[in-house]
Amino acid sequence: MSSLKFGTSGLRGLVTDLVGWPSYAYASAFFRSVAAANGDCRTVVVGRDLRDSSMDIAATVANAAAANGFKAIDCGALPTPALALEAMRLRACAIMVTGSHIPEDRNGLKFYLPDGEITKADEAAIIGALGKFEIDGRIMEVPASVETEVSKRYLKRYIDAFSSDALSGLRIAVYQQSSVARDLLTELLAALGAKGVPIGWSATFVPIDTEAHRPEDVDFIRNVMAGGEFDALVTTDGDADRPLVADGKGRIVRGDVLGMLTARYLRIETIVVPVTAGSRLVRAGSFRDVIRTKVGSPFVIAGMEHMKQSGRTSIGGFEANGGFLLGSNIIMSGGILCALPTRDAILPILATLAAARSGSMALDCLVSSLDVGETASDRLSNISSERSGALLKQLSMMPAVRQFLAPIGIPTAINQQDGIRIELNGGRTIHFRASGNAPELRCYAEASTAAEAQGLVSWGLAAAAAAIKSA
């Protein structure tokens, strides 16, 4: 049975299930669906991250494009939002070969239409067009034309929007690892007045998950920042749509805090966030509208589009992983920052650092000035969707929830918008959901202190593991 499936953002699965004919078939199905819905679109821009498998899969995608009457433009290794921006500029579609933050033995395809990221309805159309490609066949090899200026245009987007001294005087550690934005980020910081110091370059892929931090990454960041040499540390996940920012003391800033700081810096009025964004944080932002959705950028994008249709003109979205989606044009000190309705890691990095500098505050002081409570999250790996689904079904009824949570508190409300999100006495929450990208059960918690939030997550994962094992 193939591991390939659509998750919170695109198709994901084991590399062994994706290379060769499967990636050709899914790309062909996408091109068929695009041709059926938008016959004028006959160009696709193709990008990739730095995984070992991504270059070959990107070549297969280009071959599929040629076989289906599309012109393929090879944009090389670049951030996913840069590729999406190029697709919008050319009124083309796009395919990004990336597994984002998941381990290197997995990879995926992200699909874009001329207006931005595909919707859940578009995913269904791709699956519907897949049937005739189920059996292996011959792949015609046709090289794509090469485009090398896409990353420069993405860089210019931010240089033109921010003032040239937006980050003046800041000294920033750029944890390069295997991020596709590792060189671009250093260059961009310098263009805005900061001193970006590259560290931690890696020849092998590093799976940076901005919601479930690996202990070795936490230790590395803490050790780098211990000397007091830097004002902050920044990096991204593999394809640069999720940011990671640590303050001068080596403490990683929550992704939803980055999102709120970005929205406030941009003076956005309407925000759309998934249920995993902190409740107290969202209330503290003083936004005109706050819309909550299921987890996944397609749901956030749908929410932003709904608010746009409702007449809102200042719209943004962000996720607990820190990725920011800009739903409307924003006037900034340097110029207009045009809408980019896909998850982006670079904007929240720049906006957060600029907010701290403009307020003459250290980043840790800026974050601590927010009364947003504390959150924590982690995961159980290698938990199939069937096993996690059985647990979530069990917890969907209050009697079972009361019994399950008896050791830690009293449940007062249940939200089943995405998984099971339970409000507890004492203003705490605990939230279980199956990952849409990997065989994992994720647990999120909110509480007044970081220790209490982490304690809820640790207890939740242990209790969930025991329940799954005994089932």
| Domain 374-470 indexed as CATH 3.40.1080.10 | no
Sorted by where each begins, the domain ranges of the chain are: 5-148, 152-368, 374-470
Mean pLDDT of 373-386: 89
Tokens of 58: 């990107």
**The two domains 5-148 and 152-368 share their CATH topology (first three levels equal):** yes
Residue 452 has pLDDT above 70, yes or no: yes
Q: Which stretches within 148-254 are classed as H helix?
A: 150-161, 182-191, 215-225
Contacts of 308 (CB under 8 A, 6+ apart): 315, 327, 328
User: Which residues are CB-contacts of 435 (< 8 A; sequence separation ≥ 6)?
Assistant: 7, 8, 379, 441, 442
**What secondary structure, in 3-state letters, does 337-384 show?**
ECCEEEEECHHHHHHHHHHHHHCCCCHHHHHHCCCCCEEEEEEEECCC
pLDDT: is 470 or 1 the higher one? 470
Which pLDDT score, from 0 to 100, does residue 337 have? 97
pLDDT > 90? residue 374: no
Distance CA 285, CA 118 (A): 29
The CATH label, of 3.20.10.10, 3.30.460.10, 3.40.120.10, 3.40.50.300, for the domain at 152-368 is 3.40.120.10
CATH architecture assignment, domain 5-148: 3-Layer(aba) Sandwich (3.40)
* Strand-pair category, 374-381 with 116-117: unpaired
Tens-place pLDDT, residues 60-80:
999 999 999 999 999 999 999
Cα–Cα distance measured from residue 180 to residue 50, given in angstroms and rounded to the nearest whole number: 6
Q: Is the pLDDT of residue 135 over 60?
A: no
> Which of 35-39, 179-183, 316-320, 407-411 is the least confident region?
35-39
Each residue of 236-274: pLDDT tens digit?
A: 999 999 999 999 999 999 999 999 999 999 999 999 999
Kindly list the catalytic residues.
100
What confidence category does residue 146 fall into, taking pLDDT thresholds of 50, 70 and 90?
Answer: confident
Kindly tell me if the per-residue pLDDT of 39 is higher than 90.
Answer: no
Lowest mean pLDDT among 2-16, 275-289, 305-319, 456-470: 275-289
What is the reported pLDDT for 137?
A: 59
> For position 247, what pLDDT does the model report?
97
